[in-house]
Amino acid sequence: MGQTIIYMRHAEYHRTMGSNSGTLTERGKEMALDMGLFMYSREFNPDVCIFSNAIRAKETKDLVLQAYQNKDDYDFSKLIQFEEKSINETWDLDPFVDVIALFPEAKCILIVGHNPAIGALAGMLTSTTSVFTPGSFIAVEYPSEITMETICNRHITKVLLEERALYF
């Protein structure tokens, strides 16, 4: 069974001491909410939301998911939310493959994580070299099981949408 995975970088945050302690800026909060509304309008309806243990990722997830609450055509009560420490600021794609494998029946998974992995993955799937700014996301359709061989293979995946967050 194929899956749609939305890889999202957390929104803009206040940099503080400790990699998990920064909270979203006002602009970051606005961007996360806007991206959630945009995802909803494009009918990306996650069954599962996987997010890192960093405060900025949790806040981003909460604001993105606000767009889905109280919608007649989306059953928010069935959404599985899963915190995963291993996707916090990693270069490695193994944690993404491992956590996606926990939900083989999910049709659409939203992952809220960090650079460098999220940006690198977006770059490999689109062959772009531009910066994957905070709040950006890429939605990818995988035709089969996601493995280390398929996660970043742009020849077998279909990029459904790439949305770069712009900050002015």
Q: Domain total for the chain?
A: 1
Q: Assign 75 to helix, strand or coil.
A: coil
**Amino acid 1: pLDDT:** 59
User: Cα–Cα distance between 89 and 134 in angstroms, integer?
Assistant: 13
pTM (2 decimals)?
Answer: 0.94
pLDDT in tens, 115-147: 999 999 999 998 776 678 999 999 999 998 999
100 neighbors 3 (Cβ within 8 angstroms): yes
**Amino acid 74: pLDDT:** 93
Q: Residue 103: what residue type? A: F
* Per-residue tokens: 156: 């077998």
Please list the rounded mean pLDDT of every run of 10 residues in the chain (168 residues). Answer: 92 78 91 95 96 96 95 94 94 95 97 93 82 91 94 93 78
Q: Residue 129: what residue type? A: T
Domain membership of residue 32 as a residue range = 3-163
Q: Assign 17 to helix, strand or coil.
A: coil
Residue 117 lies in a domain: yes
140 neighbors 112 (Cβ within 8 angstroms): no
Give bridge partners of residue 161 from the DSSP assignment: 139
Residue 168 lies in a domain: no
Would you give the distance in Å from CA 69 to the centre of its chain?
Answer: 18
**Amino acid 18: pLDDT:** 59
Write the CATH number for 89. Answer: 3.40.50.1240
**Amino acid 30: pLDDT:** 94
- Closest-CA residue to 111 (of 46, 164, 158): 46
